[in-house]
Amino acid sequence: MAYSSNLGIGRMGANRELKKAVEGYWKKEISEAELHDTAKQIQLNNWKMQKDAGIDLIPSGDFSMYDQVLDTICMVGAVPQRYNKNQSFSELYFAMARGQQDKAKGINVPAMEMTKWFDTNYHYIVPEFERGQKFSAHAEKPVITYNLAKENGFETKPVIIGPITFLLLGKMKDGGSTLDLLPNLLPVYEEIISQLAKAGAKWIQIDEPALVLDLPEVARDAYKKTYEKLAKAANVKILLATYFEDLKDNLDLALSLPVTALHLDLVRAPGQLESALAKAPKDLILSLGVIDGRNIWKNDFAKSLSLLEKAASKLGKDRVIVAPSCSLLHTPVDLDLETKLDSELKNWLAFAKQKLSEVSVLAKALNQGEAAVKKELAANAEAIKSRKNSARIHNPGVKKRTESITEDMAARKSPFARRKQIQNQALGLPLLPTTTIGSFPQTTEVRAARAEFKRGKLSQTEYNNFLKKETEKTVRYQEKAGIDVLVHGEFERNDMVEYFGEQLEGFAFTSNGWVQSYGSRCVKPPVIFGDVSRKGPMTVEWSKFAQSLTKKIMKGMLTGPVTILQWSFVRDDQPREITCKQIALAIRDEVSDLEKAGIKIIQIDEPAIREGLPLHKKDWQAYLKWAVDSFRISAASVKDETQIHTHMCYSEFNDIIGNIADMDADVISIETSRSQMELLDAFVSFKYPNEIGPGVYDIHTQRIPAKDEIENLLRKALKVLSADQIWVNPDCGLKTRGWKEVEPALEAMVEAAKELRGELAGGKKATA
């Protein structure tokens, strides 16, 4: 009999209960005990939902208060030395995630670095290692969680991140390879597995998504040695989970490892099944991820059953597990909560709860025959047909315009060197100009006003008047603080992607389709279901209004086509490249209208361009070609004197710096504060020709940086970049912070820039 399985599920709860509890704990509005009670209830609800759906292998330990990699850091005793280990576990845990600051106690500790989890919009905490790193086993969380499930009637398979993936995700702070630490780490994993087995676990899921990457031979050897040892650690079945891509050259390695079952992502890479079936050892079980764990479209049962039946005929049903492609962390919880979606579109979708049911239906069809689920198969076939044939999806005019894109549409009139001269004269900005990335605090008042407007308690006029007051307050604050290039604060925007999607054809929106981005931060991705076009100007009126309030330069703020694509649930019935270029044309129209309205600087944010990079290097250039072209199409319609900015954050740029240069933005702002300007190295080694705003303070933490701290980071930047290249700005937008944090941080930033500007004007060398 084939098993049904799930790899993991979202942690926030159907109504974002964890977000509210965690943030309440940070604000000291609830106790640590209350926080843990909320966490317990979410886990119990998740286990019940999976059991009710008929899932055989239910995960435990996939829940996290913040991030699963941070959990692993704690589990293996890899807490960096700068954190006070004498404080409570929760204080220590959140200090690593968010930093820690207490002036009265003299505590000022920065957070750990954060970056994207493979090619998703989920962010993880980057492990920090040093030569000779010692590890120690702390299996309390996975063991306690397993026992909690068992006490409440749920037999689960504990989930842990595998040791090789954990090491490969980390960074050595003093040189060397993270894999050199494996001999110290392996005994810790053996102990953790042994403790889980003693607790009664029959299965353990070990996630090794690094197996889908292009691995050096040393990593392949490490996998062999590691799993030979772990297989002997205890009498327990190991399900080795890979996901997000094709195993390709690592397939033979993965199949050779002494584990009970191997999970394959057949949504991203259905072609790997044929080779896996041909090469699988006679006793290996294959877990087949046929349900898309990263998108919200209803599964095509006919296609999935063909893959499952092929596997069952070759292996036998008892060697097949039916599962989603990856953890359902990346999908919203429950489609049943969407009461405002029209019935046709809703019938095309499946959220996590519905995907669990899809897994069970497919397992039942495989085990008992299609007649046992005849009704479900028929309804599914009708939904698939309805979506394919719907007139809502296709717009001939949009398709024709996309097909008519020329190379000239992706090229600025003059090269950057000439544009720089023209822009310097037109803009008249000082050396080391200061600016922010775009958004200002979305306060309780702003969110309340938006909610009242949506409920009809505020009229459009009343809401607009409120937004105008917030915008003017923000403009006046920036003028007072001495910021050189202003932004309007984006108070009219709920989200940097959703706001634009609401004004584009081909998009739909959910009410409760939240997914975790990092920590307590949730996003609600739009659904791109059809051809995309602009209904009309989207930002022009607010930009014009903001510019009318000041004589200083006001930036127009847009989200770029690649980011809108990456941070949406994208239609899967045409190549992503086509959808991206449709969005690019819509943004191009907006850029042209902003320029006509007198906006001299336009920022087109592309924080997701690195995130979209395929996991196999051989696929990079094809993606980068259309991604870079899409950005250039969106930006290239303007005159030379109009300055184009872009922003990217929490990404490694070394491998694609040439492609970033090809984007030809006049100014790029990047995250560098958490890495202490380390991410700037790529731009330096490449001799990046355009202007750069290396983020000088981390907005993802409540810490308020001192002027000296910002100065030191700028001095590091001045050691490797010319002063006329550098802009001064935070790491990212300020919407998640409060004014009490923002004001002193920005004022310190401006003062640091002024001090260094004075040194440079006086002929001094601003040294670190």
Question: Quick one: 33 and 90 in the same domain?
Answer: yes
If we measure between CA atoms, which residue out of 7, 10, 91 comes closest to residue 43?
Answer: 10
Question: What's the pLDDT band for 697 if we cut at 50, 70, 90?
Answer: confident
What pLDDT digit, counting tens, does each position of 616-663 carry? 999 999 999 999 999 999 999 999 999 999 998 756 677 888 898 999
With residue 67 as reference, give the H or E element that holds it: none
Task: Write down the pLDDT at residue 672.
Answer: 72
Task: Write down the pLDDT at residue 676.
Answer: 65
Question: Quick one: 200 and 269 in the same domain?
Answer: yes
Dist. CA 351–CA 515, nearest whole Å: 11
Dist. CA 294–CA 159, nearest whole Å: 19
Dist. CA 325–CA 289, nearest whole Å: 4
Question: Quick one: 471 and 371 in the same domain?
Answer: no
Which residue range is the domain that position 213 belongs to? 3-330+344-389
Strands of 110-154 (E only): list them.
114-116, 123-125, 128-129
Q: How far apart are the first and last CA of the chain?
A: 66
If we measure between CA atoms, which residue out of 61, 7, 295 comes closest to residue 199?
Answer: 61
**Is 554 a member of any domain?**
yes
What pLDDT digit, counting tens, does each position of 223-260 carry? 999 999 999 988 899 999 999 999 999 999 999 999 99
Could you give the number of structural domains in the chain?
A: 2
Look over the chain and give the mean of its residue pLDDT values, rounded to a whole number.
Answer: 94
Q: Which of 336-350, 673-687, 712-726 has the lowest mean pLDDT?
A: 673-687
**Is 718 a member of any domain?**
yes
Task: Write down the pLDDT at residue 674.
Answer: 63
Question: Quick one: 441 and 298 in the same domain?
Answer: no
- Residue type (1 letter), 379: A
Cβ neighbour number for residue 143 with a 10 Å cutoff: 20
Q: What are phi and psi of 616, to 5 degrees?
A: -105, 130
- Cα torsion for 399, 401, 407, 410, to the nearest 10°? -100
Q: Which of 182-196, 541-555, 670-684 has the lowest mean pLDDT?
A: 670-684
Question: Quick one: 377 and 485 in the same domain?
Answer: no
If we measure between CA atoms, which residue out of 355, 373, 369 comes closest to residue 6?
Answer: 355
Do 112 and 96 meet the contact criterion of CB atoms below 8 Å apart? yes
C-alpha distances (whole Å) from 484 to each of 210, 597, 721 are 44, 20, 20
Question: Quick one: 358 and 428 in the same domain?
Answer: no
768 pLDDT above the threshold of 50: no
- Residue type (1 letter), 466: F
Question: Quick one: 371 and 411 in the same domain?
Answer: no
**Is 512 a member of any domain?**
no
If we measure between CA atoms, which residue out of 117, 213, 116, 129 comes closest to residue 174?
Answer: 129
How, if at all, do strands 114-116 and 123-125 pair?
antiparallel
Q: Which of 59-73, 296-310, 359-373, 690-704 has the lowest mean pLDDT?
A: 690-704
Task: Write down the pLDDT at residue 360.
Answer: 98
Do 743 and 474 meet the contact criterion of CB atoms below 8 Å apart? no
Rounded average pLDDT over 40-66: 98
Question: Quick one: 375 and 437 in the same domain?
Answer: no
Task: Write down the pLDDT at residue 425.
Answer: 96
346 pLDDT above the threshold of 50: yes
Question: What's the pLDDT band for 673 if we cut at 50, 70, 90?
Answer: low
How, if at all, do strands 515-518 and 203-207 pair?
unpaired
What CATH number has the domain bearing residue 357? 3.20.20.210
Dist. CA 339–CA 694, nearest whole Å: 44
**Is 506 a member of any domain?**
no
- Give the 3-state secondary structure percentages of the chain, helix then strand then coil, rounded to 5: 45, 15, 40
Whether 330 is catalytic is no
High-pLDDT (> 70) share of the chain, %:
98
Question: What's the pLDDT band for 731 if we cut at 50, 70, 90?
Answer: confident
Question: Quick one: 634 and 735 in the same domain?
Answer: yes
With residue 200 as reference, give the H or E element that holds it: none
Question: Quick one: 354 and 424 in the same domain?
Answer: no
Do 637 and 597 meet the contact criterion of CB atoms below 8 Å apart? no
Structure pTM? Answer: 0.90
Q: DSSP per residue over 76-113, as a string?
A: TT---TTS-TTS-HHHHHHHHHH-EEETTTTEEEPPPP
Rounded average pLDDT over 597-609: 95
Structure tokens, 569 = 């649930």
Question: Quick one: 438 and 379 in the same domain?
Answer: no
Contact partners, residue 371, CB within 8 Å, separation at least 6 = none
**Is 609 a member of any domain?**
yes
**Is 400 a member of any domain?**
no
DSSP 299: P
**Is 623 a member of any domain?**
yes
**Is 396 a member of any domain?**
no
Question: Quick one: 20 and 66 in the same domain?
Answer: yes
Dist. CA 95–CA 84, nearest whole Å: 9
What pLDDT digit, counting tens, does each position of 544-579 carry? 999 999 999 999 999 999 999 999 999 999 999 999
Q: Which of 428-437, 490-499, 546-555 has the lowest mean pLDDT?
A: 490-499
Dist. CA 746–CA 743, nearest whole Å: 5
Question: What's the pLDDT band for 767 if we cut at 50, 70, 90?
Answer: very low
CA 749-752-754 angle, to 5 degrees, is 110
Task: Write down the pLDDT at residue 694.
Answer: 85
Q: Which of 299-313, 471-485, 721-735 has the lowest mean pLDDT?
A: 721-735
